[in-house]
């Protein structure tokens, strides 16, 4: 029997502390969990008259999922929010506030496995080459994009990268990712050269504000870059390059992984570099690789219509030459 009773505010605050202190989640992950729990709390209190978390029952959660479905929320988002509610209930059981799991019998909506957008190597080079180097911050922006693609970082990892964790001699960077887990990632020579140029021609002239002394990428005022600044910088280069795809920093991460898999990299190695906890998360890139292989077969196999067109075109060109 649960002996504790608690109100929504103290339970939600306690859950936040649990995510930060016990589970060690990143700031962005905590914000995402809290956003979902606030939505559930608002629905439970306003629509279901659930006065305390201890009163949560299976029908409340079922109707909450129905509410999300009626709002047109994607299945992936529904599954994520259910996962958040499940985690919240687990915390309440740990604290002795709740006896049993009220949503144990609920099956999460089957997630849609969407293949992420990917850029070609030529498109990546075009975007990096479109950085406006006539502006003072151009050397910084180029270095950021080179590192983003060379290491497959999340945007939060890029802007929080520390100078003390970048080894240009051995060509590795140490990154603290989700769950405060550290990983070591090789960094290519082009990215190393771009960082070296940035340190010499931009970073050396910026006086870091207190708390930003070890931050690698700084703005003009000496503060670390924000996620929005990174998005805006990339968007400008994408437009300048004439790329019409919807490109974000995460697109560079997807492209990094896809290009490695296409070139024959070991899946476990790619998992390690991306910082994926589960190999199943990394396996989505094998689907992308399959799509690439299918395109190659369609284009070049003798029994393919496209291949026949290519052969006919090649024959015509050879006849013209001869």
Give the list of residues 6+ apart from residue 162 with CB closer than 8 angstroms, or none. 214, 215, 216
Active site residue 285: yes
Q: Rounded distance, CA 263 to CA 1, Å?
A: 57
Active site residue 154: yes
Helix axes 227-241, 138-151, angle to 10 degrees: 90
Q: Rounded distance, CA 186 to CA 238, Å?
A: 26
Q: By C-alpha distance, which of 179, 147, 145, 141 is closest to 162? A: 147
* Chain-centre distance for alpha carbon 281: 11
Q: Which listed residue (178, 183, 223, 227) is catalytic? A: 178
Q: Is there a contact between 128 and 181 (Cβ–Cβ < 8 Å)?
A: no
Q: By C-alpha distance, which of 89, 99, 82 is closest to 2? A: 99
- Cα-Cα-Cα-Cα torsion 292, 297, 300, 303, nearest 10 degrees, comes to -160
Active site residue 276: yes
Active site residue 178: yes
Alpha-helical segments (H) within the chain = 8-17, 27-46, 58-70, 75-94, 121-129, 138-151, 155-159, 189-201, 227-241, 249-262, 267-274, 279-282, 284-300, 305-321
Active site residue 254: no
Q: Rounded distance, CA 139 to CA 133, Å?
A: 6
Q: Which listed residue (15, 91, 202, 285) is catalytic? A: 285
Q: Which listed residue (41, 140, 203, 253) is catalytic? A: 253
Active site residue 110: no
Q: Which two tokens mark 37?
A: 């729990």
Q: Which listed residue (23, 63, 212, 250) is catalytic? A: 250
Q: Which listed residue (140, 142, 154, 203) is catalytic? A: 154
Q: Catalytic positions, please?
A: 154, 178, 250, 253, 276, 285
């Amino acid at each position: 029997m649960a002996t504790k009773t608690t109100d929504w505010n103290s339970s939600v605050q306690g859950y936040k502390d649990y995510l930060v202190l016990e589970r060690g989640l990143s700031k962005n992950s905590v914000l995402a969990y809290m956003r979902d729990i606030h939505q559930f709390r608002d629905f439970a209190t306003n629509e279901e008259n659930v006065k305390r978390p201890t009163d949560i029952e299976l029908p409340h959660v079922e109707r909450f999922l129905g509410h999300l479905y009626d709002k047109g929320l994607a299945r992936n988002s529904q599954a994520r929010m259910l996962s958040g509610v499940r985690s919240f209930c687990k915390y309440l059981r740990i604290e002795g506030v709740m006896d049993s799991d009220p949503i144990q019998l609920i099956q999460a909506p089957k997630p849609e496995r969407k293949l992420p957008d990917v850029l070609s190597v030529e498109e990546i080079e075009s975007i990096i080459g479109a950085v406006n180097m006539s502006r003072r911050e151009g050397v910084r922006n180029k270095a950021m994009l080179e590192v983003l693609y060379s290491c497959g970082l999340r945007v939060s990892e890029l802007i929080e990268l520390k100078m003390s964790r970048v080894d240009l001699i051995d060509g590795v960077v140490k990154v603290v990712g989700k769950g405060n887990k550290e990983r070591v990632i090789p960094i290519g020579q082009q990215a190393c050269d771009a960082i070296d140029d940035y340190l010499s021609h931009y970073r050396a002239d910026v006086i870091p504000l207190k708390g930003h002394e070890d931050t690698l990428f700084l703005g003009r005022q000496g503060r670390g870059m924000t996620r929005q600044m990174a998005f805006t910088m990339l968007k400008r280069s994408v437009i300048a390059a004439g790329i019409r795809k919807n490109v974000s920093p995460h697109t560079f991460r997807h492209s990094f992984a896809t290009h490695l898999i296409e070139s024959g990299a070991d899946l476990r190695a790619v998992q390690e570099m991306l910082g994926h906890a589960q190999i199943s998360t990394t396996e989505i890139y094998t689907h992308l690789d399959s799509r690439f292989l299918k395109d190659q077969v369609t284009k070049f196999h003798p029994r393919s219509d496209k291949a026949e067109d290519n052969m006919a075109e090649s024959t015509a060109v050879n006849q013209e030459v001869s």
